[in-house]
């Protein structure tokens, strides 16, 4: 039981790390902030996404929020995170290659599982 809880905690931590990195890339490129810094709007988005991830009841079975059947983000925040993903996604490979490759790997694994079902 404790091992499973640790696994879920690690998964939450990795997801928060990935989304936070994407928000930083977006903020730096779109709002002109220094690397590692966020403007107020992006800081608010980061706090929102972190809170949602930390309290997600489906973390054990889902891969990413975009693949979840229940969307807990408000419509406004969904649109904000979509803009971040569209901008930062292609740039992740150059800024954080390990996170980008891990994200692609998990996405492909999930697609295979869905195809087998």
Rounded CA-CA distance 97/79 in Å is 25
Q: Residue 2 — pLDDT band, cuts 50, 70, 90?
A: low
Residue 25 pLDDT greater than 90, yes or no? yes
Rounded to an integer, the average pLDDT of 76-101 is: 93
Residue that is written with structure tokens 């640790």 in the block: 6
Q: Which of 59, 51, 46 is nearest to 18 (CA)?
A: 46
Q: Are 35 and 23 in contact (CB under 8 A)?
A: no
pLDDT of residue 97: 94
SS3 4: helix
What are the tens digits of pLDDT across the range 45-62? 999 999 999 998 888 877
Is the whole model's pTM more than 0.85, yes or no? Answer: yes
Condensed to tens digits (0 to 9), the pLDDT of residues 27-43 reads 999 999 998 899 999 99
pLDDT at 63 over 80: no
- Least Cα distance to 58 among 100, 110, 105 occurs for 110
Band of the pLDDT at 71, cuts 50, 70, 90? confident
Task: For the chain, give the number of residues.
Answer: 117
Question: What residue segments make up the domains of the chain, in order of their start?
Answer: 2-116
Q: Phi/psi of residue 110, each to 5°?
A: -65, -40
């Amino acid at each position: 039981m404790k091992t499973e809880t640790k696994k879920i905690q690690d998964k939450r931590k990795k997801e928060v790390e990935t989304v936070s990195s994407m928000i930083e890339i977006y903020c730096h490129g779109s709002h002109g902030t220094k690397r590692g810094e966020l403007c107020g709007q992006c800081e608010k988005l980061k706090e929102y996404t972190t809170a949602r991830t930390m309290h997600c009841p489906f973390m054990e079975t889902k891969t990413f929020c975009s693949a979840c059947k229940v969307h807990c983000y408000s419509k406004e925040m969904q649109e904000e995170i979509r803009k971040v993903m569209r901008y930062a996604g292609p740039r992740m490979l150059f800024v954080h290659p390990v996170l980008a490759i891990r994200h692609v790997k998990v996405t492909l694994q999930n697609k295979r599982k869905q195809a087998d079902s």
